[in-house]
Amino acid sequence: MTQIEAAKKGIVTGEMEEAGASEGVAAETIRGLIASGKAVIPNNKNRKARLVCIGMSMRTKVNASIGTSSDLIDIGAEVEKARAAEKAGADTLMELSVGGDLDSIRKEVLASTSLSVGSVPLYQAFKEAIERYHDPNKLTEELLFDVIERQCEDGISFMAVHCGINRLTIERLKRQGYRYGGLVSRGGSYMVGWMLSNNRENPLYERFDRVVGILKKYDCVLSLGNGLRAGAVHDSLDRAQVQELLINCELASIGQEMGCQMMCEGPGHLPLDDIEANVKLQKRMSDDAPFYVLGPLTTDIAAGYDHISAAIGAAEAARYGADLICYVTPAEHLALPSKEDVVEGVRAARIAAHVGDMVKLGRKDIDMRMSKARRDLNWDAQQKTGLFGERAAEIRASRAPENSDTCSMCGRFCALDNVNAYFRESLQGGRKL
């Protein structure tokens, strides 16, 4: 029995209790959200992981993506990245390798982390088609479904499957005259090429029941991939992207009825004024199914600092209801991320998720504690309260002040140090200082 099947029968599972405990939310609340399709717990019956709940009323989660490329294949480096992402505070991890022995890499990564791990099976399916037939467009349906089963068997907890690309979405893409940014989804671009080359429907759409059947066996979450996501802000909310989103939202409802936990995926590149519309459109059309977004990146000209561009977009997306943020690293568009890039990407996304949750969930209590700690020049409390207290302490210690109560930014001219003594015993604006 899957989590959603149990939830619909009124059963509170051990997984719901574990996720509820980590969220500080009653397990019965988690059950109700999963039963209605508004939340999921990425899980796999074959592997024990640290579980989180993704969806309505939950803290916005952060995903870190790692994996080899065809140019750089180093399993040890990817294992280090997985561990670094977990230590930096990622909630989930995606293993997205395309170079080397993908089965071995996946197993090594799964063994190296306690996080729930996701994948994109199309990567491995097309890679194996190239190796067997020397042509990705000779990928067979059986090989495709074999890869999905193989990855689930290994313990993958959520899987991005590009079911929403079909003949209609490709026709929309043709009619609008292609795109400014082209197709940037690796899985999506290969599937579009396969469909056009073979003049066939996408088997992941055509045999959606088979996709769901495999993932149900393992209680794996089906994340409906955004294969036609915008890769440039000028392609945001174009007809092809919205058509795929519409199909994915329909499939999410169908999959839930079949007893499989479902998420929808989103872009990509969006200017600030499109983010609210994109999130609300997905939520309305899917009846509030969890929304997993990459970034979104809010400008196309920030290479080297795309993690900042993405953090701006992620904060807005979380504010309006996005549930899972896929981080972007400083190496986006430039190179395979290093371990240091992974850490920076996770940290930027965590800040963005928190900023969004301050509005979405009304969670400003931590910021209030930090405000008071700063006002009182309580450096120990600041370190314990901040998202990255250890890093903050390192920076302060590296440029130590003469007066240990202050920092070297202001030194003896510290505004708080100069004025606090006058207000400690008084009230200002009804707030006891």
Residues 324/291, Cβ–Cβ less than 8 Å: yes
Is residue 265 domain-shared with residue 410, that is, in the same domain? Answer: no
- Residue 290: which CATH number? 3.20.20.540
- Give the chain's domain count: 2
Compute how many other C-beta atoms are within 10 angstroms of the C-beta atom of residue 180. Answer: 15
- Reported as a single tens digit per residue, the pLDDT across 228-276 is 999 999 999 999 999 999 999 999 999 999 999 999 999 999 999 999 9
Amino acid at 305: Y
Q: Is residue 16 part of a domain?
A: no
Is residue 402 domain-shared with residue 273, that is, in the same domain? Answer: no
Is residue 324 domain-shared with residue 207, that is, in the same domain? Answer: yes
Is residue 327 domain-shared with residue 409, that is, in the same domain? Answer: no
Nearest CA to 83 among 109, 60, 58, 106? 109
Q: What is the pLDDT along the chain (433 residues), one digit of tens a residue?
A: 999 999 999 999 999 999 999 999 999 999 999 999 999 999 999 999 999 999 999 999 999 999 999 999 999 999 999 999 999 999 999 999 999 999 999 999 999 999 999 999 999 999 999 999 999 999 999 999 999 999 999 999 999 999 999 999 999 999 999 999 999 999 999 999 999 999 999 999 999 999 999 999 999 999 999 999 999 999 999 999 999 999 999 999 999 999 999 999 999 999 999 999 999 999 999 999 999 999 999 999 999 999 999 999 999 999 999 999 999 999 999 999 999 999 999 999 999 999 999 999 999 999 999 999 999 999 999 999 999 999 999 999 999 998 888 899 999 899 988 888 788 665 454 455 5
Distance between CA atoms of 325 and 19, rounded to whole angstroms?
18
Last residue of a domain, one of 360, 381, 406: 360
Last residue of a domain, one of 317, 332, 360: 360
Is residue 260 domain-shared with residue 382, that is, in the same domain? Answer: no
Is residue 211 domain-shared with residue 63, that is, in the same domain? Answer: yes
Q: Is residue 23 part of a domain?
A: no
Q: Is residue 64 part of a domain?
A: yes
> What does the angle CA 316 – CA 262 – CA 36 come to, to the nearest 5 degrees?
90
Is residue 323 domain-shared with residue 406, that is, in the same domain? Answer: no
Last residue of a domain, one of 319, 342, 360: 360
Is residue 97 domain-shared with residue 140, that is, in the same domain? Answer: yes
Is residue 267 domain-shared with residue 390, that is, in the same domain? Answer: no
Residues 259/299, Cβ–Cβ less than 8 Å: no
Nearest CA to 403 among 394, 395, 412? 412
Q: Is residue 237 part of a domain?
A: yes
pTM greater than 0.85: yes
Q: Is residue 116 part of a domain?
A: yes
Is residue 412 domain-shared with residue 316, that is, in the same domain? Answer: no
Cα distances (Å, whole numbers) of residue 270 to 63, 100, 181, 300, 401: 19, 33, 12, 9, 43
- Reported as a single tens digit per residue, the pLDDT across 147-176 is 999 999 999 999 999 999 999 999 999 999
Q: Is residue 9 part of a domain?
A: no
Q: Is residue 34 part of a domain?
A: no
Q: Is residue 20 part of a domain?
A: no
Range of the domain at 383: 366-432
Q: How many residues does the chain have?
A: 433
Is residue 145 domain-shared with residue 62, that is, in the same domain? Answer: yes
Contacts for 292 with CB less than 8 Å, ≥ 6 apart: 54, 63, 223, 263, 264, 265, 266, 322, 323, 324, 326
Is residue 343 domain-shared with residue 370, that is, in the same domain? Answer: no
In the block, residue with structure tokens 């026709």: 171
Nearest CA to 215 among 265, 260, 262? 260
